[in-house]
């Protein structure tokens, strides 16, 4: 697996902080406080995207990292809207560069797969950005395993490669275990796993009546609305209490424990909300604890049509 490092040469922290809330539910002051808390905890990997909070996320992150650029690894994403054609990639990437105040961005993700644009056009655009010294590494987010492998073949023909993927992964969203995580391990691709808290479902708090995404965003309500997920979350909170670990801490530690996961992406709206996730960097699960936690949720079926033999 590729060893991603900051420009200064430090290895990436075991946790990545996602700045999706910067400039949105977290104002500039709250965002700065979370950034400082992350740095105090040793986090040096920060993730944003062109579409987050209308550009405010990138703009604030660019301001925060100015005095320690070489010690920070910055990832952003393009092509969530507008397609993955070369014109859209180059235009939105230029926006991101200006907002982040960076000549070179460490990691550029394609935010999602675009079936309407030739993969060769997409990766030629990324390869040219890399050759020009404008990006260091290439990643893809929200891709299926077959899409990653297809794109990797095209990327290699262009003289580059996909270094890391960004799938959704938590105790209540384990589909990545079927093909994405084994594929990443086999092909030496890093994994930055997002939403390890299940959009707050695994925090042990009432996230349905508060101001979180489960209560305010219909997409998240549908994503985590299955009854078994709620039962898993309740049982998980009870187990966390028994283990004397905050549920959020345990949820992040569980996601980090998978051998294919390079780093979970944590996020929050405030420093108080962030602290339990940061604490996961100091939790090491035993095999027994990991198995006990895993048994609380549904293990996805393996990628075979011979399930009776699995």
Q: What is the DSSP string of 92-130?
A: HHHHHHHHHT-SSEEEEEE-S--TTS-HHHHHHHHHHHH
pLDDT at 277: 98
Q: Which residue has the higher pLDDT, 38 or 209?
A: 38
Q: How many domains does the chain have?
A: 1
Report pLDDT digits (tens) over 124-143. 999 999 999 999 999 999 99
What integer is the mean pLDDT of 7-13? 95
Give CA torsion, residues 97, 102, 106, 110, to 10 deg: 0
Does the structure show a pLDDT above 60 at 206? yes
Asked if residue 183 is part of any domain, the answer here is: no
Asked if residue 88 is part of any domain, the answer here is: yes
Q: CA angle at residue 261 from 5 to 57, to 5 degrees?
A: 60
Per-residue confidence band for 211, with pLDDT thresholds at 50, 70 and 90: low
52 is catalytic: yes
pLDDT at 40: 98
51: domain CATH number is 3.20.20.100
Q: What are phi and psi of 51, to 5 degrees?
A: -90, -10
What integer is the mean pLDDT of 81-102? 98
Per-residue confidence band for 209, with pLDDT thresholds at 50, 70 and 90: low
Give the separation between CA 261 and CA 267, rounded to whole angstroms: 17
Asked if residue 111 is part of any domain, the answer here is: yes
| Rounded (to 5) percent helix, strand, coil in the chain | 50, 15, 40
User: Any residues with CB less than 8 A from the CB of 118 and at least 6 apart, and which?
Assistant: none
Report pLDDT digits (tens) over 44-75. 999 999 999 999 999 999 999 999 999 999 99
What integer is the mean pLDDT of 95-105? 98
pLDDT at 210: 59
pLDDT at 80: 97
Asked if residue 219 is part of any domain, the answer here is: no
Give the separation between CA 235 and CA 28, rounded to whole angstroms: 36
Asked if residue 240 is part of any domain, the answer here is: no
Asked if residue 195 is part of any domain, the answer here is: no
- Helix (DSSP H) and strand (DSSP E) numbers for the chain: 12, 8
Domain of residue 120 covers 16-166
Per-residue confidence band for 309, with pLDDT thresholds at 50, 70 and 90: confident
pLDDT at 238: 97
Per-residue confidence band for 147, with pLDDT thresholds at 50, 70 and 90: very high
How many C-beta neighbours within 10 Å does residue 273 have? 20
Does the structure show a pLDDT above 90 at 92? yes
pLDDT at 207: 64
Q: What are phi and psi of 228, to 5 degrees?
A: -65, -30
pLDDT at 203: 94
Report pLDDT digits (tens) over 229-283. 999 999 999 999 999 999 999 999 999 999 999 999 999 999 999 999 999 999 9
Give CA torsion, residues 74, 248, 212, 32, to 10 deg: -40
pLDDT at 293: 98
Partnered with residue 75 across adjacent β-strands are: 47, 107
Asked if residue 128 is part of any domain, the answer here is: yes
Helix segments in the chain, DSSP class H: 28-40, 56-64, 86-100, 119-131, 145-157, 180-187, 213-216, 218-223, 227-243, 247-257, 271-278, 287-294
Asked if residue 253 is part of any domain, the answer here is: no
């Amino acid at each position: 697996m590729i060893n991603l490092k900051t420009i200064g040469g430090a290895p990436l922290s075991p946790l990545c902080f996602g700045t999706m809330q910067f400039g949105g539910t977290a104002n500039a002051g709250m965002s700065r406080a979370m950034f400082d808390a992350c740095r105090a905890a040793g986090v040096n990997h920060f993730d944003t995207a062109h579409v987050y909070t209308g550009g405010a996320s990138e703009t604030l992150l660019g301001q925060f990292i100015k005095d320690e650029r070489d010690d920070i690894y910055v990832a952003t994403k393009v092509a969530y809207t507008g397609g993955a054609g070369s014109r859209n990639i180059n235009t939105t990437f230029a926006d991101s560069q200006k907002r982040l105040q960076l000549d070179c961005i460490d990691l550029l993700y394609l935010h999602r797969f675009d079936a309407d644009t030739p993969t060769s056009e997409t990766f030629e655009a990324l390869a040219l950005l890399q050759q020009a010294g404008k990006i260091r590494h290439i990643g893809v987010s929200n891709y299926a395993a077959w899409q990653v492998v297809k794109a990797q073949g095209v990327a290699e023909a262009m003289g580059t490669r996909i270094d890391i993927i960004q799938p959704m992964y938590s105790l209540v969203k384990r589909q990545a275990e079927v093909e994405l995580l084994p594929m990443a391990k086999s092909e030496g691709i890093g994994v930055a796993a997002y939403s390890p808290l299940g959009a707050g479902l695994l925090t042990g708090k009432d996230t349905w009546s508060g101001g979180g995404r489960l209560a305010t965003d219909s997409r998240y309500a549908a994503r985590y609305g299955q009854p078994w997920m709620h039962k898993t979350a309740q049982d998980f909170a009870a187990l966390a209490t028994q283990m004397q670990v905050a549920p959020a801490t345990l949820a992040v530690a569980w996601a980090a424990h998978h051998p294919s996961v390079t780093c979970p992406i944590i996020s929050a709206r405030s420093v108080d909300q962030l602290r339990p996730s940061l604490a996961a960097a100091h939790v090491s699960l035993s095999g027994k604890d990991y198995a006990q936690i895993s048994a609380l949720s549904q293990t996805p079926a393996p990628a075979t049509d011979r399930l009776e033999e699995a």
